[in-house]
Amino acid sequence: MPNTGRFITFEGGEGAGKSTNVQMLKEALEDCGKTVVATREPGGSLGAEEIRKLLVDGSVDRWDAMTEALLHFAARRDHAERVIRPALARGDWVISDRFVDSTMAYQGYGHGLGREPIEILHSLAIGDLRPDLTILLDLAVEAGLGRAGARGDDESRYERMADGFHQRLRDGFLDIAGREPARCVVIDAACELAAVQADIRAAVSDRLAVSLP
């Protein structure tokens, strides 16, 4: 039986715990004998990391919604072509901290660009590459921004946007998950980390036919 790669993405607003849970899931899958590539967006490849700097630093009004979306898809195409597709072709499992759902939520819903432009850009830049499973870590806006602020992260451009923006993107993520329940699993990120990780492992085990403790 061929070694078939799987593509898992983590989504959610600021401070939802994506990076921590990506690393924990990576270690759990490796303990089961999987070869795992953990990556992130914007970024994940040399070119995409350069574009990341344009998006996460500077004033909140540095770009309009369409410019942001174009920058994200430029980074995403480089990431997909240089990292994600080759890893999947090798049979590796890929876990990405954000993918196209973030652009849909942040620029499509949060900035009001709408779904159609994001869908068109996805088709043009990325084609048929889509996650096998998307884990949405859902958290109230105030709680998420509180966590994010406590990190002291220099990459705070999106965190500094208005609360209304963050509420729209949370609602957007939940709408995306509601539209695609076969792909998306919503997990309450307000719970203790051990409980969140248990829910993630249960979802991965159930959806992707792998036995995780």
pLDDT tens track for 115-166 = 999 999 999 999 999 999 999 999 999 998 888 877 766 778 988 999 999 9
Each residue of 20-58: pLDDT tens digit? 999 999 999 999 999 999 999 999 999 999 999 999 999
In a domain, 47, yes or no: yes
In a domain, 161, yes or no: yes
**Domain total in the chain:** 1
H or E element, residue 150: helix 141-151
In a domain, 159, yes or no: yes
In a domain, 213, yes or no: no
Question: In angstroms, rounded to a whole number, what is the distance separating the alpha carbons of residues 168 and 14?
Answer: 13
In a domain, 14, yes or no: yes
CATH number for the domain harbouring residue 74: 3.40.50.300
CB 113 within 8 A of CB 69: yes
N residues, the chain? 213
